Structure 1
Amino acid sequence: MQDYRLLKLELEKRYSHLAWMASPGSGVNLPALDRQAQAMLARARDNAEARQAILYFQNGFRDGHFSSIKPVTEPSSAAAEPPKRDLSRDNALDGCASLGYVNGNGGAFSLPFETLPGVRLTADGLALPMRSGIADLGAAGKLALLRIPSFNPRNYPQLCQQAWQAMLERGDRLDPDKLFTDIMRAWYRETAQRLRELRSAGTRALIVDIGDNPGGNDSGDAMSRLLGSGPVRSAPLWLARSPQGEAYLREWIENLSAGLPPEATAEDKAVLQPFLDAFRAQASQLRQAPPVDMSWVWREQRAFDPGAARSRLVQVAYASGAVDHLEPGRYSKIVSEALFWPAQSFGSQGAWQGPVYLLTNGQTYSAAEMFAAVSRDNRLAKTVGQRTGGDGCGFMSKMQPLVLPHSGLSFRIPDCVRLRADGSDEVAGIAPDLPVDAAPGESRRAMAQKTLLAIAADLAPLP
């Protein structure tokens, strides 16, 4: 029972989605969940049953980022650790592999469109990153298909190898962080080029397949800007009033001051100064804010209001950085990329012009949900398939696991919230505009065909 009380106390202190979970809109009844977990603990005959009661409680939140993890064990002896690899001696193939770039999520579509008549591939997702193709639906026209299996750039070793080789040819010193940035830019360029090629092939609409996509980094926000030409606004970012929230603000302060690249000019620093001052002021306010009693969540449900004191949340800019939108050319490259992370996609934005459908399912998580939410809320795309898994925003600062001393259970506790346009928490998942569910006994091929036909019907002009 002591572990259970500690877990609840830590959730009250730092779990960012707690106020949402305590609202009727979440579909989670925390008072009932708490009562059930306590009853299970009271009946527990041994430690194993007590652990199961705590895990039952955690699973009841239906938040993939709030999850149990294996405790990290430190190596027993530094002498047993092999020496670090000298990356300067590696070629692109070996170097990218040693840094962990691996095509780990496969290249196939989440539904087997490849097996349907009238579908041909334009890229297999192996020789080139991301599988793509065209589905010829006859009188309904052609649909472009693009598979994004992951929003983690480390799952695209092809792009790493290209960026590595380019770095060697320039004579640059091998820098893994600089390499990662180059890969991000290359990924946006590659995606934009693929979209333009698909559009020029006479397709009338685009399907971006993010089914079974586990997420990745904040590229989910930037990638939405490749769809359409209108202004895109990023989601407001809210953090728990906690040490993790303070750490995120300190990171901003560092990045906008001592963390600037050496080539930053005095003009760059002058432009950034008001943003730096704002983050410093917010960090000071957060440190001085009185503690918030969140124990009400175990007794009652209340409407979700992130700005209310009872929610223990504070808005810290946006999911895209310090601003929610930035026009290319307004600031220098250094300023733009310091303030607005999607600036790395400048030059690739608006690559696709036309209707867009995002294919989602219950295994669409995290950054993939970010992509779906931003695209949907900015009316860039419709969603088709099933509701996403409901991870929402996870961690904006270094994840600090909670280890329960008696049971040995260890948990990740998310520290951030991305708000939807309707004011809900993205952790609720993104419901499809065009639901496509499997009938009893229906094959995955039939589901793929049903999905294409649902999109074709949506594209058909009204009688």
Structure 2
Amino acid sequence: MAAEIRALRHTGATALVVDIGNDSGGDDSGDWTPRLFTNRPVRSARLLMADASDAGRYFADEIRDINEALAATQSHDARAALKDARSFFYQQTAAIGEHRCDLSWVWREQRAWSPTNCNRLLSAGYAGGYSPGLARSALGDSKAAAALSSASTVQSFFGSWTGPTYVLADQRSYSSAEMFAAVMQDNRIAKLVGNRTGGD
């Protein structure tokens, strides 16, 4: 995508339209790619997980990646940030099972959603990991940055385009495509046009 952006810029393009219509989604690229369209900081969406054993597996994976990055880095700043992240995921692991409450009402009635009411959810950081996002070359250690925010794996492509951008969506845009649209909109990187997405 970065190569396509460079090619369009070379031909004199003054605006980009990214068509995610009829796109069923895919992987975490929906969180990574918005950073190609701006040189400003980009925040990933908050991630919440059901208070269940699956959350423990996710937290264990995050801790494993953080430990690998800790073993490889010599940067004082990176080590401090990684230790904070590891502490957070240890705390969240210990909290599994503490957010139980009666939600049987959901089968009988509709209520307005409130994140402060009991919802059996645990904070899991952000869509890309512990950090909402890091600047290019943050912490001076790319492996540590990627362990804290997976979008940092494409940091060499951050800001490939900084001009006007539009995202074209339709009712067949799902999953990662919707994540892309949401991050682009929430961070004021692009204007969304088209129809409401599929709601995945």
TM beyond 0.5: yes
Could you say what secondary structure the match of 2:96 adopts? helix
Name 1:274's counterpart in structure 2: 84
SS in structure 1 opposite 2:17?
Answer: strand
Mapped to 1, the partners of 2:44 and 2:69 lie a distance apart of 26
TM-fit CA distance, 1:345: 1.3
Give the fraction of aligned pairs with identical amino acids, expressed as a percent: 41
Q: Residue 219 of structure 1: CA displacement?
A: 1.0
Q: Which one is further off, 191-200 or 366-375?
A: 191-200
- Residues 378, 243 of structure 1: CA spacing in aligned structure 2 closer, same or farther, 3 A cutoff? same
Q: Report the counterpart of residue 134 of structure 2 in structure 1.
A: 326
| 1:237 has 2:47 as partner | yes
Secondary structure at the aligned position of 2:130 is classed as: coil
Q: Residue 305 of structure 1: SS of its match in structure 2?
A: coil
Q: Which residue, 162, 165, 168 being the options, matches 1:353? A: 162
Quick one: distance in 2 between partners of 1:241 and 1:307?
15
Partner of 2:124: 316
More RCO (CA 8 Å, sep 6+):
2
* 1:214 and 2:24 matched: yes
Summarize the Cα distance change of 1:382–1:262 in structure 2 as closer, same or farther, 3 Å threshold.
closer
> What's 1:23 paired with?
none
Is residue 365 from structure 1 mapped to residue 179 from structure 2 by the alignment? no
The verdict on how the C-alpha distance between 1:241 and 1:209 changes in structure 2, with shifts beyond 3 A counting, is same
- Alpha-carbon offset, residue 256 of structure 1: 1.8
TM-score (norm 1): 0.41
Inter-partner Cα distance in structure 2 for 1:245 and 1:323: 17
- Note closer, same or farther for the CA distance 1:220–1:328 as it changes in structure 2 (3 Å cut): same
Contact 1:307 / 1:314 at 8 angstroms: preserved in 2? no
Shift of 1:227: 0.8
| Displacement after TM superposition at 1:269 (Å) | 4.6
Cα separation, 1, equivalents of 2:99 and 2:191? 42
Q: Would the aligned equivalents of 1:307 and 1:313 in 2 still touch at CA under 8 Å? A: no
Kindly report which structure 2 residues correspond to 1:243-262, keeping only aligned pairs within 5 A, or say none: 243-257=53-67, 260=68
Shift of 1:213: 1.1
Q: 1:265 aligns with which of 64, 73, 80?
A: 73
TM-score normalised per structure 2: 0.90
Computing the radius of gyration from Cα coordinates, the structure with the larger value is: 1
Q: Indicate the larger mover: 296-305 or 215-224.
A: 296-305
Structure 1's 261 and 380: CA in aligned 2 closer, same or farther, altered over 3 A?
Answer: closer
Tell me by how many angstroms 1:262 deviates.
9.5
RMSD: 1.8
Q: Residue 73 of structure 2 contacts residue 144 of structure 2 at CA under 8 Å; is this kept in 1? A: no
Looking at structure 1, the residues matched to 14 and 72 of structure 2 have their Cα atoms a distance apart, in angstroms, of 44
Partner of 1:384: 193
**Per-residue deviation, residues 436-455 of structure 1 (Å, max 9, x unmatched):** xxxxxxxxxxxxxxxxxxxx
Take 1:264 and 1:243, find their aligned partners in 2: how far apart are those partners?
29
SS for the counterpart of 1:214 is: coil
Which runs of at least 4 in structure 1 moved beyond 6 Å after TM superposition? none
Deviation at 1:266, TM superposition (A): 5.1
Cα distance in 2 between the residues matched to 1:299 and 1:280: 36
Instruction: State the one-letter code of the partner of 1:255.
Output: D
SS class of match (2:84): helix
Extract unaligned runs of 5+ from structure 1.
1-190, 392-463
Deviation at 1:202, TM superposition (A): 2.0
**Residues in 2 aligned to 1:254 and 1:222: alpha-carbon distance in whole angstroms:** 21
- Name whichever of 269-278 and 227-236 sits farther off: 269-278
Q: What SS does the corresponding residue of 1:334 show, helix, strand or coil?
A: helix
Native 8 Å contact 2:34 2:183 kept in 1:
yes
Q: Is 1:233–1:378's contact at 8 Å kept on the other side of the alignment?
A: yes
Paired with 2:161 and 2:81, the residues of 1 have a C-alpha distance of 32
Letter in 1 for 2:112: A
Contact 1:226–1:348 at 8 Å: present in 2 too?
Answer: yes
CA distance in structure 1 between the aligned counterparts of 2:190 and 2:69, rounded to whole angstroms: 36
How far apart are residue 372 of structure 1 and its match? 0.4
Q: How far apart, CA to CA, are the structure 2 residues paired with 1:243 and 1:307?
A: 22
Q: Which amino acid in structure 2 is aligned with residue 373 of structure 1? A: A
